[in-house]
Amino acid sequence: MNNIFIIGVGLIGGSFALDIKELYPECTIHGIDKNDTHLDEAISLKLIDQKSNFEDLKKADLVILAIPVDATLSVLPRVLDHISDETIVFDAGSTKENICVAVKNHPKRRNYLAAHPIAGTEYSGPKAALRNLYRNKTNIICEVEETAFKLQEKALKLFSDLGMRIRYMNPKAHDKHIAYVSHLSHISAFMLGKTVINKEKNERDIFDMAGSGFESTVRLAKSSPAMWAPIFQQNKTNVIETLDEYISNLKHFKTLMEKEDFDAVYNEMKDTNHIKDILNGIQ
Least CB distance to its own copies at residue 65 (A): 19
Angle, helix 11-23 to helix 149-161, in steps of 10 degrees:
90
Residues 221-250 contacting its own copies, CB under 8 A: 221-223, 225-226, 228-230, 232-233, 236, 239-240, 242-247, 249-250
**Pick 56 or 200: Cβ nearer its own copies:** 200
Residues 69-88 contacting its own copies, CB under 8 A: none
Residues 259-278 contacting its own copies, CB under 8 A: 260, 262-263, 265-276, 278
**Pick 101 or 247: Cβ nearer its own copies:** 247
36 forms part of the interface with its own copies (CB under 8 A): no
138-142 vs 112-117, strand pairing mode: antiparallel
Alpha-carbon dihedral 136, 17, 64, 151, rounded to 10 degrees? -70
SS3 for 113? strand
Least CB distance to its own copies at residue 160 (A): 17
Residues 6+ apart with CB under 8 A from 15: 119, 129, 130, 131, 133, 134
Cβ pair 151, 179 in contact under 8 A: no
**Pick 149 or 207: Cβ nearer its own copies:** 207
Angle, helix 225-234 to helix 236-258, in steps of 10 degrees:
100
Least CB distance to its own copies at residue 170 (A): 13
Least CB distance to its own copies at residue 263 (A): 8
Residues 173-202 contacting its own copies, CB under 8 A: 177-178, 180-182, 184-200
Query: Is the sign of the CA dihedral 181, 130, 214, 230 positive or negative?
Result: negative
Least CB distance to its own copies at residue 17 (A): 20
